[in-house]
Amino acid sequence: RLQIIEELKALVNMEEDINTTYKNFKSLQEQWRNAGAVPRSNYNDVWRTYHHHVEIFYDFLHLNRELRDLDFKYNLEEKEKLVQRAEALVEEPDLNKAFRELQTLHKIWKEEIGPVDKEHREAIWERFSNATKAMHQRRQDHFKELDKEFEQNLVKKNEIIASIASLGEHVASDHKGLQKQIRELEALRTAFFSAGKVPLKDNEATWSRFKEAVRAFNRKKNEYYKNLKKEQQVNLDKKRELVKVAESLKDSEEWDTVTPQMKKIQQDWKQVGHVPRKYSDKLWKEFKAACNHYFDRLHASKNKGSGEEIENLEKKKACLDKLQAFSPGKSKEDDLAVIKSLISEWRSIGRVPYNKKSINGKFNKIVDGVLKKLGVDKKEAELLKYGNKLKELASTHDDYALRKERTFIKRKIDEGKSEINQLENNLQFFSNASEDNPLVKEVVEKINRQKESLKTWKAKLKKINILQHSLSKEEEEESSSEGEAEEGKEEA
């Protein structure tokens, strides 16, 4: 460009016809337009120098006014087009596009279009300058609006950062809760990035606080899962040990000893927490298979029954046949004696195969029916059967079994009393209701049933107390007799 300026200077001093000189001038202008960019620091000085010598050349053309005036006219028309386009850019919706085009117009003004005559030079420049100022004002106003929007975005982002910080301060202590918080964090991160730009002066600080809040949560989350992995490893070792126990017991035939153990390790399995997912299904299948194997064998054994159980089943069938064949006679006392005898015989027979236990229910049902035919009420029938049960307990001399039976009856009595109190309290809610009220009648019937049941349980308690007293007295007499015998030996 500097070379072009030097050649432009030389045109004024060349001795040639004006047309040739003018063509050389136009050629230099074309070269100038195509010369490319120069360093920013030199651009204005180079352009002013070029423009100055262009004007000097036009002044030099005063010898050929027609040629100069034609060029001035063309330049004025082109600059008016640029001005019109610059003025129209104020209405362009896309501000960035409008501003880029304005810069292009300025470049064309400076680079591609020459000067105009002095009469129009100042006016055309003022129009172009005013259009440029209007665009700059619009741009400033736009950035002011953006600043307001950026301030609002800053408020939103600060609120989001505060929410993330709160998550980090209250990290859940269980997997389910923590997974929920992770989803909340992802939603907050998405909201942060969607909230838009913030003022440039706050951008770095806002981004730093956001990253730190996210990191604080992630540190605690990672710490939880690190500890969880340790805990799951401990649980994994526990479950592996339970699988070993189940495998070692699954083929045992010591049913009475092993069955409680198998039930216990099943409960222990439920108490052990989670294990790593990749081991969970495999371990459960192994444990379940071992337990199922054992209990399938146990049920098969119970259903098959031992030789003794099968023999007992035949005895009970024979006893049941006698009961079904029973026909009431003339004497109620004799009939009751027969029934008592059959009940006693039934109770003396041992256990039957597991899958045949329903025979006991059948027997009791027939006994209840026979006693009803004999005119024995439900309470008396219950006590009659219970009397036989106590005789069996007494014959075994099993103090533990008697104490256990007595504890069971006392608990039933306490439960009955509690139920009656509750029902009577419920009646108070119907204080103004008629006795014909269905709800009142239902509660009264329940109370009466419970009272009858309570009488039966109290009668059973009385029987077992009498039995225990009698057994204690017999033991004292036996002890006394043994003591007298020992004294006789000493005297002898």
Task: Give 304-349 as a DSSP string.
Answer: H--HHHHHHHHHHHHHHHHHHH----S-HHHHHHHHHHHHHHHHHS
The tokens describing 301, both together, are 């054994």
Backbone angles phi, psi at 465, to 5 degrees: -65, -45
What pTM does this model have? 0.37
Q: Which of the listed residues 282, 304, 326 is the one where a domain comes to its end?
A: 304
Question: What is the dihedral angle through the alpha carbons of 280, 282, 288, 292, rounded to the nearest 10 degrees?
Answer: 170
Containing 383, the helix (H) or strand (E) segment is: helix 378-396
Residues 314 and 294 in one domain: no
- CA distance linking residue 394 with residue 274, whole number of Å: 51
Q: Coil, helix or strand for 221?
A: helix
Nearest to 111 by CA among 50, 53, 57: 50
Same domain? For 414 and 362 the reply is: no
N- to C-terminal Cα separation, the chain: 155
Question: Comparing C-alpha atoms, which of 66, 54, 63, 59 is closest to residue 115?
Answer: 54
339 plus 268 within the same structural domain: no
Residues in the chain: 492
The amino acid that residue 121 corresponds to is R
**Smallest Cα–Cα separation from 410: which of 375, 351, 462?**
462
pLDDT for res 284: 92
| Residue listed under structure tokens 């360093």 | 39
Residue 225 DSSP one-character state: H
Q: How many CB atoms lie within 10 A of CB 400?
A: 7
Structure tokens at 428: 């108070």
pLDDT of residue 404: 81
In a domain, 157, yes or no: no
* In a shared domain, residues 365 and 414: no
222 located within any domain: no
What is the residue range of 367's domain?
306-376
Q: Are residues 258 and 333 in the same domain?
A: no
- Domain final residue, candidates 304, 329, 363: 304
Q: Is residue 474 part of a domain?
A: yes
Give the pair of three-digit tokens for residue 249: 């017991």
Q: Which residues contact 93 (CB under 8 A, 6 or more apart)?
A: none
Q: Is residue 319 within 8 Å of residue 346, measured between CB atoms?
A: yes
Q: Report pLDDT for 491.
A: 47
Let me know if residue 73 belongs to a domain: yes
The structural domain count of the chain equals 4
Q: Is residue 355 part of a domain?
A: yes
**Same domain assignment for residues 415 and 491:** yes
3-state secondary structure of 327: coil
Non-local CB neighbours of 68 within 8 Å, separated by 6+ positions: 58, 61, 62
Backbone phi and psi for residue 320, each to the nearest 5 degrees, phi listed first: -65, -35
What angle do helix axes 255-271 and 200-249 make, rounded to 10 degrees? 180
Q: Which of 97, 116, 135 is the last residue of a domain?
A: 116
Looking up residue 432, the CATH number of its domain turns out to be 1.10.287
Task: Please answer whether residues 352 and 309 qualify as being in contact, where contact means their C-beta atoms are separated by less than 8 angstroms.
Answer: yes
pLDDT at site 492: 44
Shared domain for 77 and 41, answered yes or no, is: yes
pLDDT digits (tens, 9 = 90+) for 272-308: 888 888 888 998 999 999 999 988 888 777 666 567 7
Q: Which parts of the chain have pLDDT scores under 70?
A: 13-18, 61-68, 302-306, 354, 377, 379-381, 383-385, 387-398, 429-436, 468, 471-492
Coil, strand, or helix at residue 34?
coil
Give the C-alpha separation, 69 to 52, whole Å.
18
Task: With CA atoms as reference, report the closest residue to 269 among 257, 259, 283.
Answer: 283
State the burial class of residue 487 (Cβ atoms within 10 Å of its Cβ: 0-12, 13-18, 19+).
exposed
224, 253 Cβ separation under 8 angstroms: no
Residue position matching structure tokens 């017999």: 474
Residue 391: inside a domain: no
How far is 294 from 249, CA to CA, in rounded Å?
8
Residue 403 and residue 299 share a domain: no
Residues 410 and 346 in one domain: no
d(CA 374, CA 339): 10
Same domain, 440 and 346: no
- Same domain, yes or no, for 452 and 407? yes
Q: What is the DSSP letter of 117?
A: -
Residue 337 belongs to a domain: yes
Are residue 95 and residue 12 in the same domain, yes or no?
Answer: yes
For 452-474, write each residue's pLDDT tens digit.
Answer: 888 888 887 887 787 767 766 66
| Distance (Å, whole) CA 409 – CA 442 | 27
Residue 475: inside a domain:
yes
Cα 198 to Cα 164: distance, rounded to the nearest angstrom: 18
